[in-house]
Structure 1
Amino acid sequence: MDREDGESISRLLRAWRGRIDPRTVRELRGVLPRPGRRLSQKHVARMTGVSEGWYRALEAGRRQDFSESFLLRVAEALRLSEAETLTLFLAVCGRRPPERGHAEEDLPRGVKALLEQQVSYPAYLSDVAWNIVASNALMGEWFPWVHRPRPNLMRWALLHPEAREQMLDWEDSCARVYLAMLRVAANSDPGNEELRGLVHEILDADADCRRIWAQEYDVVEHRDGHVFRLRLPYHGNAEIRVTSHVLLPIQRTDLRFVFITPVDGWAGV
């Protein structure tokens, strides 16, 4: 974790700790240091529920098995910004901090505007568990299920009977790909209870999905560029070929911005 250029995480942690006035810390009422003394390692350990030695190891840059929950408590105790919290996580464990839950009204203005202004093709935002966070008007016209309570792409595509009618060549073009995506997501974030529960729910509910899961070992990260065939009531049940495009908003890396475009210049939207 340490670097020789003076910008080690140890130096940053000491600086972040040093800017806090202990008198403003509610948890330290009754144990405040003498006037003029800064927040100590012992105080931060007390605030985060660990031993002084454990916190000292973090600030000294010694590699330990520091949990995400501990690092989040440190970030809260030291009043770190999102950028500072990201720096702490990357320096200590080499990964980003877990994303906090967000409501649709918390979407970055630019991302929401881009979604709403996309009037040529269906577009939507989904989170890491494929919950539909927001969608444009055309997405709702092509796929009315996005307006149902708590819409989830995986549940619809893999469990709902209408998906097998509307997504042609369902097993090879849809089920195998989506299950391969679930396999990547579940292994990339094994502590995500929602993802783990989604996998169990789908496998428990559908025999075809269980068979494919047991037989296949493919892994797919996303459907960007994937071509698939649809037969939707919106198009009079005529067969169409489309491809999906997946973007990751820099302000919300827990979201996928997905839009669907026609293949071969089809423009019958």
Structure 2
Amino acid sequence: MNKKALKALLSERRELIDPTSHGFERPQGRGRRARGLSQQQVDELTRRATHTYNRLETGAMPNPPTDYLRQVARLFGLNEQEWVSLCRYAGIGDPPGPLNQDSGLEVPGVWQEAVDGLSHMAYVTDASWNVLAHNEPFARLFPGGRIPPNTMRWMLLDPDARTTLMEWKTVWAPLVLPQLRAALAVRTDDETLHQIAKEVLADPDLGPIWEAGGANIHPDGDERPLLHAVEGPGHVTMCAAQPLTAPGARLMILLWHPGKKKQHRRVPMLRASRLPDA
């Protein structure tokens, strides 16, 4: 727990909230005027016992319940980055899921410009795997440049994908399905993901793989065979990252290698050099 940072974050955001917006009257008469909501008003709005919020803000509440932290975060209008910081400062580590279920469904518009500036195939999807931005090299991967609206649905359920994604049944499907399962565990109310999972269960090829389970294997750094609509067979090396303001959204960069895959030494991990001792 980082009590100093916790108090600074909570008190600063609490003082920004106008009490009258929640039906409270501002104190009248002489004396110092406290800014924003009082700690007692926070207890009233969250329907908690008196001094509950004071214990949280002062760091006197070890391992606070996630549901209470979420309640306070939503009351204070925290964004997703602040939500992560709140959980870390409170001593519970990274939050078990996004602050709001609709988080991860939009990213700043500048991501399109960022993707356009990449020479490799690149695209951005939201937390439901809907494509939000892509560049021209990625469009060339598909016949006629027809980008699939949802990459998860396309990879698993589109017949064309089972040709484009070479060795689909043994290489792609077993590694993509765990990503869908992991996303559903966090985004329990995501209608798009639930519908995809329903169709997966009904698919004769995917159903048995889904039922068998499987570990969540992240694609970052992985290499897989692929049939390019223009350049023919080859393979891609995948780089994956997440926009900080959109949990569950992802930036995918695909490094294209045409022709038969060559045996080569795996590129070592990047790590900063240790500074010499003084």
Q: Call closer, same or farther: CA 1:25–1:101 in 2, change over 3 Å.
A: farther
Q: CA deviation at 1:264?
A: 6.7
* Change in CA separation of 1:210 and 1:145 when aligned onto 2, cut-off 3 Å: farther
Aligned to 2:136: 137
Matches within 5 A, 1:114-153: 114-118=114-118, 120-143=119-142, 147-148=147-148, 151-153=149-151
Question: Where do 1:187-266 residues align within 5 Å?
Answer: 187=185, 189=186, 191=188, 193-194=190-191, 197-198=194-195, 200-221=197-218, 223-235=219-231, 238-250=232-244, 252=246, 254-263=248-257
Cα displacement (A) at 1:66: 3.6
The alignment's C-alpha RMSD in Å is 3.3
CA distance in structure 1 between the partners assigned to 2:235 and 2:85 by the alignment? 43
* Contact 1:71/1:89 (8 A) holds in 2: no
Deviations 1:59-96 (A, max 9, x none): 343133241540333323xxx57665443232234225
CA contact (8 A) 1:132 1:146 kept: no
Determine the structure 1 residue equivalent to 2:268: none
**Partners of 1:239 and 1:25 in 2: CA distance:** 64
Q: Is the 8 A contact 1:159 1:205 kept in 2?
A: no
Shift of 1:253: 5.1
Asked if the contact 2:153/2:196 (under 8 Å) is kept, the reply is no
* AA matched with 1:231: L
Following TM superposition, by how much is the alpha carbon of 1:125 offset from its aligned partner in structure 2, in angstroms? 0.7
The equivalent of 1:164 in structure 2 is 162
The verdict on how the C-alpha distance between 1:66 and 1:174 changes in structure 2, with shifts beyond 3 A counting, is closer
Amino acid at match of 1:215: A
Corresponding residue SS for 1:176: helix
Q: Which runs of 5+ in 2 are unaligned?
A: 261-278
For the 8 Å contact 1:121–1:260, the answer to whether it is kept is yes
SS in 2 for 1:142: coil
The amino acid of 1:226's aligned partner reads: D
Contact 1:244–1:259 (8 Å) recurs in 2: yes
Q: How many residues align?
A: 247
State the one-letter code of the partner of 2:123. Answer: Y
Report what 2:27 is aligned to.
33
Q: Which has the higher contact order (CA 8 A, sep 6+)?
A: 2
The aligned counterpart of 1:44 is 42
Work out whether residues 201 and 210 of structure 2, in 8 Å CA contact, stay in contact via their aligned partners in 1: no
- Unmatched segments (≥5 aa) in structure 1: none
Distance 1:131 1:200, change over 3 A: same
Is this contact kept in 2: 1:202–1:209, CA < 8 A? no
Aligned counterparts, 1:90-109, within 5 A: 90-92=88-90, 93-96=92-95, 97-98=98-99, 100-103=103-106, 106-107=108-109, 109=110
